[in-house]
Chains A and B, each alone.
Chain A
């Protein structure tokens, strides 16, 4: 476990390197969708927020982390390998014939709670897990990472309504608010703002943060396991799609694409500051 923004920043750089290597080698993968939420996941997994045990992945008391935006699988796989859920050499086989995973998330991989890829499912499943925890008097929390474009799906709002109705204060949604969906900007495609007010009006506590600031992320999760509220919590994390590689940042055309050739080299140079 790491504490302090400096160490976490270094780790985030290292994870970006792993993701880039995986996707460049595979010639595919959602690099930019992964890069926008690196700090969020790094904070959860390395910042003493998420409770898990790599030696006992099925531990009943573990917090459940649901990656609903399943296209960010390279990020989760890189972290799960790095923390020890499976061997790191499996990462280089991303999307390869002898590999164990591909573009979208599979729950067959150690440490992964659910299969995802089709959007709009994770929050409902997370609500079910949170409700089961209450019914079974378990103290684990359920965290669900959503894409902001994913919030176009009606099923997200069905689940939002459900979670507030059942007072699932053990459910935490995080929206990766990079303001881009697959083909363009969310506000031009289908307006989401004011997103925090939408969640609030559905009965959630909503907090907006800078999703690349470890200080803000760690601060918002501080004491999360003893939070006092009868509402589920949503954290709207303002982020930049492709964060860390200047020519990929905020560019719709880089959705679901891995850099090749010279661009791959440039990308590597830009993030090469990261090391373990």
Chain B
């Protein structure tokens, strides 16, 4: 792996829980501007991988490099600020806060969030607050949630919540976005919308790695696929290569059908 070319690279990452190897010596790299998918049967270690990459878990062995920096021992909030952002399988929003507040929490500015700014309500801070509200509305508009800006996040529909979490992640202006099952529980039209948003992100220069079980979606938009099973990487390549890979087919319950169906 040529380190300088990959915006995100994972090297020999391992994590053991109570004697079980959740992630076992996994390495891969992502080039900037690609849409990649991380797939594998349930329990293969995909979400654990995400946790390791984004600092929510400390690896037992191995390193993670992002944009030339080693991030494997950084705290999760720092990694997020650097531009490596993730969403959650179970959609972690702030349920009793409004949609617009959720997005505002994602915005990248920090000056207004200090205690100093809170105590001394300066004109500059007020102005910044106004700009941020505007910016947040823009993000909401992008996913059609502008009307729901004051709705409590917990009251939104599942599809809306998924979109909200996505757009809150975008507010962090990430370079690499790790999406944990972005299509889970979504109806067909919402999935199409989700795919559109992902493509738009890639077109604006972002790199995406997503975990997915819906093979149709994976084969449709992923350019690069990494397959895990029992914590190990068993295959990596283009969708076509993966579809024909014996090990992968066997891993998915030994189905004789190809993975495109």
A binds B: no
Chain B contacts to A: CB under 8 angstroms: none
Chain A contacts to B: CB under 8 angstroms: none
